[in-house]
Amino acid sequence: MSAKIETVAIIGAGIMGAGLAQLFAQNGYAVKLHDVSIDALDRAVTRAGNNMAMQSDFGWIPAEDIVPALEMMQCTTDLGEAVSKADFIIEAVPEVLELKKNVFARLGGLAPEHTVLASNTSTFDVMAEMPDAIAGRVLITHFFNPPQLVPLVEVVRGERTADEVIETAMELMRAVGKYPLMLNRYLPGFVVNRIQLAINGMAYMILNEGILEPEDIDKAIENSISLRLAVGGPFATMDLGGLDVMAASARAMGVEPPPALAERVERGDLGVKTGRGFYDYAGIDEEEILARRDRRLMLLLDAYMRGLKD
């Protein structure tokens, strides 16, 4: 059974911290935002207000909801005050392991015994560093910048994280409109950053060829795969393109297709056109699949092209 969450404490008032405070305040949670700098706290509140004003301009939220949401955010430089009544804490301090360890060591002595202790780290296995007294309450909730907008949250459990803590985190993420992706163990870079690393690595290689400038490479991605992947991830996109085509393309670039791809091609499971690839399309008309993809892509393109005119 998951625990009831009423108050969320955010430790760190940088860009991520401000976005997280805004996210939970907008969704009706009392928020305690902590930072060692009063200036950082002031900037965070201003940034949250500006973010919500933009959302209002887009028609996402009523303008009259902005002030009440900001009033749900209380700022403090006193860590004890920030966490004394918190049900869920998210550490969002800079990505320095020793700093994070020190924060959690303090949280263990300041937060109530029922409080879930989460880290927004994108890199470290902070759970392995936790003392036994709090290890069962610690997990990772990795948001993506800007956290008030990007839907995905990678929820990573440690070897000692209690099941109830995982359930509470997953339920809370859904309650604020997020898509929580559950990882049952720590994986360096988690999921998205590992894929991003591969993309960045190839971008560096192309840049080093001296043919294109960074802006050219960015524009190539923005106007192609970034849009396509937004309406279907890599496996769905491969299924649509044909796994035999994907295998041939890999070989043309000097890369042997991995077993997960080669074995499907050998079986004749080539994707949408054969009714099975990485996904099973049994009973689904190919034209329906293509039309659904194209409708989603057209909606994205409409917004993208309007954005280019700003």
Active site residues: 154
Segments of 67-161 assigned E as strands: 73-76, 88-91, 116-119, 138-143, 152-157
Q: 221-246 burial, b for 16+ CB within 10 Å, e for fewer?
A: eeeeeeebeebbeeebbbbbbbbbeb
- H runs (alpha helix) in 158-208: 163-175, 192-208
Q: What are phi and psi of 3, to 5 degrees?
A: -85, 150
Written as six digits, the tokens of 164 are: 């109830």
Separation between Cα atoms, residue 4 and residue 175, nearest integer Å: 11
Who contacts 128 (Cβ-Cβ below 8 Å, separation ≥6)? 158, 159, 186
Distance, in Å, from the CA atom of 167 to the CA atom of 224, rounded to the nearest integer, reads 37
Strands 116-119 and 30-34: unpaired
Contact of 266 with 260, CB cutoff 8 Å: no
32 — phi, psi (to 5°)?
A: -110, 115
150 token code pair: 């990007």
What would the DSSP string read from start to end of 219-287?
HHHHTTHHHHHHHS-HHHHHHHH-HHHHHHHHHHTT-PPPHHHHHHHHHT--BGGGTBSSSB-TT--HH
